[in-house]
Structure 1
Amino acid sequence: MKIALLAFLGLVLGMLGGAALGIGAGLAWVAIFQAPDFEGYGGMLVFLTFMPVGAMIGGVCGGLLLGLLAYRDNAIAVERERGGLRK
């Protein structure tokens, strides 16, 4: 269950981060290549192309990353064993 919940958390956080990076990349694309801004073409290009692609890539990468970290149980210390002398 821990693996599924962390994979879902990675999916959601990856989508948010990927969408933000997609918006930034789209704005940079419009500025660098001087895309025409006739009737909001630049905004449609950014928000209908770059943002969804960034969200998909970020969601997949984030879900896989946190899912694999949860699968490898030793990578995340959820519970610590008590150290010291045992009697």
Structure 2
Amino acid sequence: MKIALFALLGLMLGAIGGAALGIGAGLAWIEVFKTTDFEGYSGMLVFFSFMPAGAMIGALGGAAWFGIMAARDDEIAVESESVMHQERR
């Protein structure tokens, strides 16, 4: 269950981060390739092409990364061993 919850968290955070990176990549594309701004074409290109693509890639990558990290118990230290030993006494 922990793996699934971490994967969902990674999915959400990855989608947000990927969308932000997609917007940045789209704005860079417009500047580098001098995309026309006739009737808002450049804005539609960024928000209907680059942002969703970045969100999808980020969501998949975030879910996979968080899922793999949650599957490895030794990578995520929620409590240190000394705290666990003190509670048992």
Q: TM-score, normalised by structure 1?
A: 0.91
The RMSD of aligned alpha carbons is: 1.6
Q: Would you say how many aligned residue pairs link Structure 1 and Structure 2?
A: 85
- How high is the sequence identity, in percent, across the aligned residues? 63
Aligned to 1:18: 18
| Per-residue deviation, 1:77 | 1.3
Higher helix share goes to which structure? 2
Residues in 2 aligned to 1:46 and 1:79: alpha-carbon distance in whole angstroms: 43
Residues in 2 aligned to 1:39 and 1:77: alpha-carbon distance in whole angstroms: 52
1:76 aligns with 2:76: yes
- Paired letter, 1:33: F
Aligned to 2:56: 56
Task: Give CA deviations for 1:18-51 in whole Å, capped at 9, x if unaligned.
Answer: 0000000000000110001000000000000000
Q: TM-score, normalised by structure 2?
A: 0.89
In structure 2, list runs of 5 or more residues that go unmatched: none
In structure 1, list runs of 5 or more residues that go unmatched: none
